Structure 1
């Protein structure tokens, strides 16, 4: 499913946090949003998953205006994992993942056999089926992220929006989570999801994203494949660092080494 963010702006209390932003994510692509703290990444994504209404502009899914959809219709097409999630659920993993089925259920309907099947499949896809009877509060940070992604997958969305999904995870967990997301975006024509994610780590963004959008002071300043976008001049201007580009010995993709600017 194609995602088009069109001329989107957000103004709060007289401050323009996002300025005329246009972002396009083709079907089955993993598109990353990078930028320094306070640049507008989370504000933009909150508009994409409708936690915030933009001052101007819109978001379209395969040409349909997201803001014209009912919440149920929107949730059947798009799922999100925000940066800040209340994780002190007094529920089992099975119950947390089952929340993802709510957009497909009628009011007060019980969980059906089909719902249980989708939840089991989602847990299997993230490698967390062995956690099904655990209490969510007892899980590690990486396990919690896997379960929350499973909940999003249980929605059967065509678009997945992730805001800093690797926050608070160790390096192995970061790689596991992004590999999982990468695999979901790389499915076949009937299965691949479009993924839009904000990432703090530029090397992870370079390794896993098909395309990057760089945002600074609320505006997009560059976009394209990671190897083309992450240039030394842009990184100095936007992030205030001196970057040395190197090539990964196995994948051939760009990697970055950083120093302070002189």
Structure 2
């Protein structure tokens, strides 16, 4: 079944001096958006002709959409006039990708006392790997996930702080010292916590799927979330966690930070 994706929102209005129209938009899984979508006070103003799919209040694949026009005037006897509103949309084959990130930093030693030891940063975690297996050094707390918080309210709530490492692929080998430089590029809120999705799939590409699978299982087993509401699978190169809405949906808060990395 194809799913709805949203494009540009545009409108035509007559706005005199001393008047203003502020347009907002939000999507919902249910016809009644109250309590199932971003509250209007949290919705940012839309620019005429803006692609609304990048707004935190709009999630592709959600079938219901609302817009709100807020009128301001200096003269109570006259108001702005909104003539028409157009919201572009199209249909796409699932799955709909809300966001993605990439990047990994790896150090491999050849010391005699630490043969083939690797220190890896990926998905917010620092991992140490050697012949006997891998262990997650950071975060220290074995009962939490780096950058992911999973809780239960009326439905499952997934909060993700995603880090994207930007830069070209680069490797270096030798005995001299070399620095890995990083600098903040930008950060954006991609989904408000109030947004409710029918289902949600979180996929982590990794060279250590068994390690990530154990961590997800531990965190979810210790939560109050019923085992029928999620499923954990792994392959040699990834871990996938499916969260099922079961008529209530899954709440998603998602923010993404981009870091520029160079050597």
TM-score (norm. length: structure 1): 0.22
Which one scores higher on RCO, CA 8 angstroms, separation ≥ 6? 1
More helix by share: 1
More strand by share: 2
